[in-house]
Amino acid sequence: MTCGVHQGIPAAGRCFNCGVWLCQECLDTAAEFGLVVCGDCMMRILLQAPE
């Protein structure tokens, strides 16, 4: 499996929201927000975050 965002990069996990495969770099970025999600889902979650 390879990252669904970065072509050719081995996947290290999956987005818990949509299930797309993510590489370590994607996971590190999501971890800054306390999430394990892809970029698309992160934006969606952040935009819909409850007040």
C-alpha span between 40 and 27 (Å, rounded): 13
1 near Zn ion, judged by CB under 5 A: no
Q: Taking CB under 5 A as the rule, does residue 6 contact Zn ion?
A: yes
Residues 32-51 that bind Zn ion (CB under 5 A): 38, 41
**How far is residue 2's CA from residue 12's CA, in Å, rounded to a whole number?**
8
Cα separation, 21 vs 41, in Å, equals 12
Quick one: which of 14, 17, 29, 35 contacts Zn ion (CB under 5 A)? 17
What residue ranges bind Zn ion (CB under 5 A)? Answer: 3, 5-6, 15, 17-18, 20, 23, 26, 38, 41
